[in-house]
Amino acid sequence: MISVQDGQERILAEITAPVPLEIVPIVHALGRVLGEDVRAPFDVPPADNSAVDGYAVSSADIPPKILATLAVIADLPAGAVFDGTVSAGNAIRIMTGAPMPRGADTVYPQEIVEREGDVVRIGPLEKGVNVRARGEDVQAGTVVIESGTCLRPQEIGLIASLGIWQVAVHGRPRVALLSTGDEVVEPGTPRAPGQIYDANRFALRGSIEQCGGEVIDLGIIPDLRDELRARLSEASRMADVVITSGGVSVGDYDLVKEVLGELGGIDFWQVKMQPGRPLAAGRIGPAQFFGLPGNPVASMLAFLLFVRPALWKLAGRRRLHAETFEATTVEPLRKKSGRREYKRGILAYRDGRWEVRTTGPQGSGILSSMVAGNCLIVLDEARGDVAAGEAVMVEPL
């Protein structure tokens, strides 16, 4: 028996180098992991500019108490640059975003002035207002996005604002995915009595894609020794990671375990957790291998706990674990001490606090509990039964 944390650490220790970098256009970079720091090649904004539509003036012309009249000597739309200098007694009509003309340091919003023909009447105003300073967003030469960051739309927008159109990102880890079991059949085909449709390959496929992996779908392998061995070694040559589900539990009619044992380099763990106790992890040839449990909830959970950090590390990410938060359970929870338990929960904000309850029956085959839930309730090894009103940790799904 090993703890969740031990298992995670041993797996991560095996992964020493992330997938190599490739250059992609930013339009294809969403969800990819940046392989180099992005530095600003210039200040953003590149020049002092107006924050409002109005009139740019020199603060020397701001009247202390009464109204003053200035001559409007030019119209400056966004994108235009005023070549001259704003001298005493003059103002420039300016639009939001237009660079501040030389000689001007303050902008009157158009709402607070009176315009009459070629003159504008202004009152007292604080010096320097309504000007966005050069470099106030990003300064030239600074790192704006760190290597190892998974790119979201906002990072891509920021990169684009620097004039950069392609970036170095890590390749997607290739993940070969197989289901095992004589009873498991393909959705869309007829199902005989005693057979079940393959759920795991589809839930795991989505899980892999969500954490940036590229799936190589190798279908369902029947419980046949030679076929299992052949398909697993084939998979290990095609992919960075090989994932199977089923056939790793104790006391099973289990060829998977035997065949994996023969391939060598694979440990069979009983992880101190529920659901998802049995797990096989190690290497087949050049590939990292994970044999996940067959029960659908257990296989998804084992994926989240053990495979996702590994895929994230392979994909070059800096952060390898999901964030957890604290909530109050509104129902008592049964918990055996000595193992970590994950219950599917429904988290909601009520009466000024985050409250969580379970989705109902928690069997490791009840996949609908994952559908009903929006979080996992994480109960530590040391903990025993939990009373209603106690604080628990939750991990949003």
Chain residues binding ligand AMP by CB under 6 A are: 179, 181, 183-184, 196, 198-201, 245-247, 249, 252, 293-296
User: Shortest Cβ distance from residue 383 to ligand AMP (Å)?
Assistant: 27
User: Shortest Cβ distance from residue 144 to Mg ion (Å)?
Assistant: 49
Of residues 247 and 276, the one with the C-beta less far from Mg ion = 247
* Cα Rg of the chain, angstroms: 31
C-alpha 356/C-alpha 331 separation (Å) is 8
Q: Residue 42: what are its φ and ψ, rounded to 5°?
A: -155, 170
C-alpha 193/C-alpha 32 separation (Å) is 43
C-alpha 260/C-alpha 268 separation (Å) is 9
User: Shortest Cβ distance from residue 223 to ligand AMP (Å)?
Assistant: 8
Nearest residue to ligand AMP by CB is: 294
User: Shortest Cβ distance from residue 245 to ligand AMP (Å)?
Assistant: 5
Q: Choose among ligand AMP, Mg ion, none what residue 295 binds, the Cβ cut-off being 5 to 8 Å by kind.
A: ligand AMP
Q: Choose among Mg ion, ligand AMP, none what residue 244 binds, the Cβ cut-off being 5 to 8 Å by kind.
A: none
Task: Catalog residues that contact Mg ion under the rule CB under 5 A.
Answer: 181, 246-247
Nearest to 151 by CA among 303, 28, 18: 28
User: Shortest Cβ distance from residue 223 to Mg ion (Å)?
Assistant: 6
Q: How many helices (H) and strands (E) does the chain have?
A: 8, 26
Q: Choose among ligand AMP, Mg ion, none what residue 249 binds, the Cβ cut-off being 5 to 8 Å by kind.
A: ligand AMP
C-alpha 133/C-alpha 46 separation (Å) is 9
Q: Choose among Mg ion, ligand AMP, none what residue 199 binds, the Cβ cut-off being 5 to 8 Å by kind.
A: ligand AMP
Of residues 221 and 386, the one with the C-beta less far from ligand AMP = 221
User: Shortest Cβ distance from residue 271 to ligand AMP (Å)?
Assistant: 14
Q: Choose among ligand AMP, Mg ion, none what residue 86 binds, the Cβ cut-off being 5 to 8 Å by kind.
A: none
User: Shortest Cβ distance from residue 286 to ligand AMP (Å)?
Assistant: 25
Structure tokens that stand for 155 in this block: 């990072």
Of residues 78 and 196, the one with the C-beta less far from ligand AMP = 196
Of residues 148 and 247, the one with the C-beta less far from ligand AMP = 247
C-alpha 243/C-alpha 240 separation (Å) is 10
Of residues 171 and 293, the one with the C-beta less far from ligand AMP = 293
Of residues 165 and 253, the one with the C-beta less far from Mg ion = 253
Helix, strand, coil content of the chain in percent (nearest 5) = 20, 35, 45
Of residues 91 and 184, the one with the C-beta less far from Mg ion = 184
Of residues 100 and 221, the one with the C-beta less far from ligand AMP = 221
Nearest to 228 by CA among 189, 201, 210, 255: 255
- Residue 331's region, left for phi above 0, alpha for psi from -120 to 50, else beta, is beta
C-alpha 368/C-alpha 284 separation (Å) is 33
Q: Choose among ligand AMP, Mg ion, none what residue 245 binds, the Cβ cut-off being 5 to 8 Å by kind.
A: ligand AMP
Nearest to 326 by CA among 373, 378, 372, 274: 378
Structure tokens that stand for 134 in this block: 């050069």
User: Shortest Cβ distance from residue 348 to ligand AMP (Å)?
Assistant: 30
Single-letter amino acid, residue 36: E
Place of tokens 């170095």: 168
Q: Choose among Mg ion, ligand AMP, none what residue 183 binds, the Cβ cut-off being 5 to 8 Å by kind.
A: ligand AMP
If you write DSSP's letter for every residue of 279-333 in order, what string do you get? EEEEEETTEEEEEE-SSHHHHHHHIIIIIHHHHHHHTT-S--S---EEEEESS-B
